[in-house]
Amino acid sequence: MKLIKIEAHGFKSFADPVVLHFDGGVTGIVGPNGSGKSNINDAIKWVLGEQSSKELRGDNMHDVIFAGSKTVKALDKAEVTLTFDNRLGASSFPSEIITISRVLERGKGANQYYINGELCRHKDIKAIAMETGIGKSSLAIISQGTVADIAESTDEQRRAIFEEAAGVSKYKFRKLDAIKKLERTTDSLEKIGLVVSELEKQITPLRKQASKAKEYLEKTAQLKDVEIALLAHDIQQYDQQFKQLTNDLEGVEETKKDYTEKIENFELRLNKSIPLRDTLHKEITALMGKAKGINERLKDLEIIASKESHRQELIARGEIKVSSHEQIESLKSLLEQTSHKISYFKDEEEILKNKSNHYSKEVNELNENINELTIQINDKKTKKVKLETKLQILEDQKENKTNLFKGTKTIVENKSLFKGYHGIVADLIKVNPEYVTAIETVLSNATQHIVVEDSEVAVKAVNFLKSNNSGRATFIPLKSIQAKSIRDDHMLVIQTQPGYIGIASELVDIEPKFEILNKFLLGNIIVVEDIETANKVANILDKKYMVVTKDGDVVRVGGIIVGGSKERSQNLIGSDDQIREIKELIPGLNSLIKAQEDKILDFRSKRSNIYQYNSEIQKELSALIEKRVNTQNKFAELQSKFASLSKEELKFDNESGKNVENIEILESQLRATSADLRAKNEIFDNLNAEINSLSISKNDLEKNLRDLNSSFSKKIAMQERAKIYFEQSRERLISHYKITVENAIKEYKLSISIDEAREFVETTRDEISALGHINLESIEELKEKEERFNMLSSNQEELYQAKETITSAIAEMDKIITTKLTNIVEDVNIEFDNVFRTMFGGGNAKIAFVDPKNILESGISIEAQPPGKSIKNLKLFSGGEKSLIAISLLFGILKARPLPLCILDEVEAALDEANVVRFAEYLQALKEKTQFVVITHRHGSMSRMDNLFGATMQKRGVTSFFSLELSQAKKMVDEFNKAENK
């Protein structure tokens, strides 16, 4: 490949466009110092990819752009293009003409490279340069410094020129690239190895977790089918029982109401009949007294009649005289007094009747109060029965451990056998009722986990369960667990969130010695107010923690959300609180019932007193009536007597007749009174019989009511028990299985007996509980990690293969480099000796590997012995001799491995004129295979150039070139030398 043209503009001192054409052979570039002739060398280096600004004699890469002068302003862009003739096919590039360009604009850091006008990469330029041998650090560009470096460098440093000559630069570059790839591959292998190793560590426990999770899902699926059908059956049974008892209780209520109304009716009738009986008794007594009085008066009248008869006899004999006027006046006075008494009795009767009516009204009010209090007492007694039933159920569950899994129950019942047993989780923690639902939701079956001191106790307990075929249980050894927590930075974030309540472990009371248990179970669980807050907190923390609300809604690790309506379940946590709460409520109800019953007793006592008062009033009223009747009778008698006495025309014998008439009247009254007395006695006997009958009926009804109340209480308890079991079954069905009762009844049927189903549910629950903590996300997580593990393992295997391939490639390149270096040293050794003899006029020289056993690392030594000298150490020669030896070596290399282009920048400057001539003549000998561009100012070199270009600065700071004849060149150089000598 031959250089045929150089174009430059804006590069260093080339402010004006520069174009140099080359015809091959040896082309010289001459000019005074400072004219910019060596900038041609820098331009070629730069366009071929030089990256070091120091190699280009600048401080930074932008220094290559023309900076301006006093007469010419600075440019903003540097551009250099080399054009090569590739018709001989020295390059694998298919084009016959190859142009390589590099452009740099001021203010833009990136260079732009072009091949045949097409934008390319820096490495593409380097590839062409290395392939053809005209690249950086090759023999293609040799300066005076390069010659000095060869002479002065160490054996190891000198090796580089032979590597360039051997054409191993591209192999070294590829090797370097391969080593970098190997390092990256090794680094990737290490990194991927760490990841694969970490994944293996994660996958092993994940497989166990996933296996447990699959077993859990399988068992829960089996349990679901049976338990839903069983729950549906139980719900129907309890519902039917509850409805039947409700109907029964409604009938009982009606009967109780009927009994109560009848008893009250009997009491009312008795309360009316007894005073009537007492009044009749009084009236009978009064009639008996009246009859007695009439008898006595009859006797008196008979005596009077006898006396009247005697008196008549005396009057007839004139012994006495009758005065009827006195008797009439006396009767008038008596009639007036009797009339006043009758009025008084009537007034008193009215007062007593008003009192009686008032008492009757009070009795009605008391009866209403008693009825209202009775209803309230019955309600409270019903509530009390329900609470006592619920308490009995809770205490029965606690005492008989009916709500524990079989395995857990067995260990609890035999806890004395296990030293180091502390209890189940539910018994060791105390939870504020406000947070019971949240903690229950989090712990779930873990409330039945058994806490022991260490793993030895757990192993002993497991063996005990196995040997007794008593189910399974989960154990938490305190010495084996570690506290869980939330990172401090995460805590700082969530504590500022509205709705944040706290960490679950902070909401639980527990003995200090069990604090590790608290932190293990609840230390990384966040409790918040509601599901919106839970979702927000979970998202903020990248779903790394479980978040639970007070209502029991949950956002699990990974983002699964569980929630909805949930009734209070009969869980282990809080059962003691419920028992305590009920026990506190019952005495209060008893007190209220007792107070209201005391009120009823007080009302009944008042009612009884009122009955007594009313009875006494009735008695008084009867007595008054009796007195009034007697007085009225007496008044009638007095009126009759007064009328009789008023008749003056009657004679004394008429008086006697009247007396007889009075006796007849009294006898008639006696007969009437006796008849009335018999009638009232008959009424009294009937009323007394009725009272006795009412009392017996009332007593019978009261006994029936007591029996009914006893039966009522039992049925209330049975109804409450049915309701509790119904609600428990329904709550588990809805909250745990998220299915309605109707769908459960319709879709799930038992294929085994009820007893077998209950046994299966209990056993399966024990087995599920014994599985311990279940990580349901582990199945998907395992799948993801196994997929990643397989992918990374595949990548790892590919990297291992790549590493082997790269290692093999490096070994192959080492072999190629060794072979080529060996060959170049051998070939150059021959040519070097020949060139040395020519250049020095005799003597001998050779090169050799310092360490022939390590060709890849070995330095290359030079031994030279000019004619007449015994010196072999290169450092002992003079400067000119060193330069000539170095030039001889360079020419030897070029003879052994000719290059298409070689640029020599004042390499002969240190030689004397005779050796300059030898140097220039040798170039003519080499030009057949190598194109030379020689930058020089020596006569001996210029005179032997095929073409010459002169460099000058017609404008200060701006280099321009022109073709020269040899005479012009000599004149230019002479003028330069004269200027230098002055």
Instruction: Report the SS3 class of residue 564.
Output: coil
Determine contact, residues 518/429, Cβ cutoff 8 Å.
Answer: yes
Q: Half-sphere exposure of residue 186, counting CA atoms within 13 Å on the CB side?
A: 9
Q: What are phi and psi of 98, to 5 degrees?
A: -120, 130
H or E segment and range at residue 528:
strand 525-528
Distance CA 637, CA 940 (A): 199
DSSP E strands in 77-165: the ranges are 77-85, 97-105, 112-115, 118-120, 141-143
**Strands 947-955 and 26-30, sheet pairing:** parallel
Phi-psi label, residue 307: left if phi above 0, alpha if psi -120 to 50, beta otherwise: alpha
Distance CA 733, CA 725 (A): 12
Radius of gyration of the chain (CA): 68
Using alpha carbons, select from 423, 418, 427, 428 the residue that is nearest to residue 459: 418
Using alpha carbons, select from 508, 545, 510 the residue that is nearest to residue 524: 545
Distance CA 439, CA 509 (A): 12
**Strands 475-477 and 450-452, sheet pairing:** parallel
- What per-residue string of b and e applies to 828-856 under the rule 16 or more CB within 10 Å gives b? beebbbebbbebbeeebbbbebeeeeebe
Alpha-carbon distances, residue 579 vs 433, 569, 588 (angstroms): 13, 14, 15
Distance CA 196, CA 898 (A): 53
Residue whose token pair is 């699964």: 560
Distance CA 707, CA 663 (A): 65
Annotated binding site for ATP: 32-39
Report CA 556 to chain centroid distance, whole Å.
Answer: 4
Annotated binding site: 32-39
Distance CA 575, CA 399 (A): 12
Determine contact, residues 175/817, Cβ cutoff 8 Å.
Answer: yes
Distance CA 948, CA 190 (A): 60
Residues comprising the chain, all counted: 982
Using alpha carbons, select from 449, 443, 444, 404 the residue that is nearest to residue 425: 449
Cβ-based burial of 618 (10 A; exposed 0-12, middle 13-18, buried ≥19)? buried
Report CA 933 to chain centroid distance, whole Å.
Answer: 79
H or E segment and range at residue 645:
helix 575-646
Longest dimension (CA), the chain: 235
